[in-house]
């Protein structure tokens, strides 16, 4: 086989994989949180963020993947009243692993989680939480606004003009032994290296 058909095949496969990831993310009903159709009520910002978290977990790999249990423990740090929507994640299956959800306003209750979402209601604990988890194989995701992305979580969510967007701190991900699909990085509004 000559190099030209092989190069074309490799390029086509890469393009197809980027397209698949883009379609998965773009077709989520959570991307446009202000879009309300007559047949279904609009989803809340919290519902959009919860759905995004499930989808981002699909594209993250832990360097110690073989040591992970058959489940993925997802901790949500924040006030209980604003976090009830997250309970819908409990029991969902992502990449063959069941999500176990823990919701608490105390970081100590979330020890051992592979993913921690830091809700804006936990802003007083934000810096301490990230310092405590720095270098640990824990995916940190947050919606705390007004924080320098370099000092933020690995994935920072924002909703602008009714659309969910995100930045990725690749340096922190790598320092913690986590990898994220390059196709997801292409969808981020900013990637910090």
Pick 3-192's CATH classification: 3.40.50.2300, 3.40.50.300, 1.10.10.10, 3.40.50.2000. 3.40.50.2300
pTM: 0.76
* Kind of pairing between the strands at 115-118 and 71-77: parallel
Q: What are the sequence ranges of the domains in the chain?
A: 3-192
120 vs 83: CA distance, rounded Å? 11
Q: Is the pLDDT of residue 67 over 90?
A: no
Give 131-183 pLDDT, tens digit per residue.
989 989 999 999 887 776 667 799 999 888 888 899 999 999 999 999 999 99
**What DSSP element (H or E) covers 76?**
strand 71-77
């Amino acid at each position: 086989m000559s190099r030209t058909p092989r190069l074309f095949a490799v390029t086509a496969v890469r393009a197809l994989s980027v397209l698949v990831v883009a379609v998965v993310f773009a077709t989520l009903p959570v991307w446009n949180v202000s879009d309300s159709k007559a047949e279904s009520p609009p989803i809340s910002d919290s519902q959009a963020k919860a759905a995004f978290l499930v989808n981002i977990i699909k594209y993250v790999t832990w360097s110690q993947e073989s040591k992970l249990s058959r489940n993925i423990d997802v901790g949500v740090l924040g006030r209980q009243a604003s976090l009830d929507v997250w309970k819908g994640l409990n029991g969902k299956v992502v990449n063959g692993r069941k999500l176990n959800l823990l919701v608490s306003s105390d970081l100590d209750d979330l020890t051992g989680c592979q993913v921690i979402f830091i809700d804006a209601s936990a802003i007083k604990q934000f810096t301490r939480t990230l310092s405590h988890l720095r270098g640990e194989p824990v995916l940190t995701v947050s919606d705390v606004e007004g924080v320098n992305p370099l000092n933020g979580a690995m994935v920072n969510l924002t909703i602008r003009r009714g659309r969910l967007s995100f930045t990725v701190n690749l340096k922190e991900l790598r320092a913690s032994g986590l990898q994220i699909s390059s196709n997801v990085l292409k969808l981020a509004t900013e990637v910090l290296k």
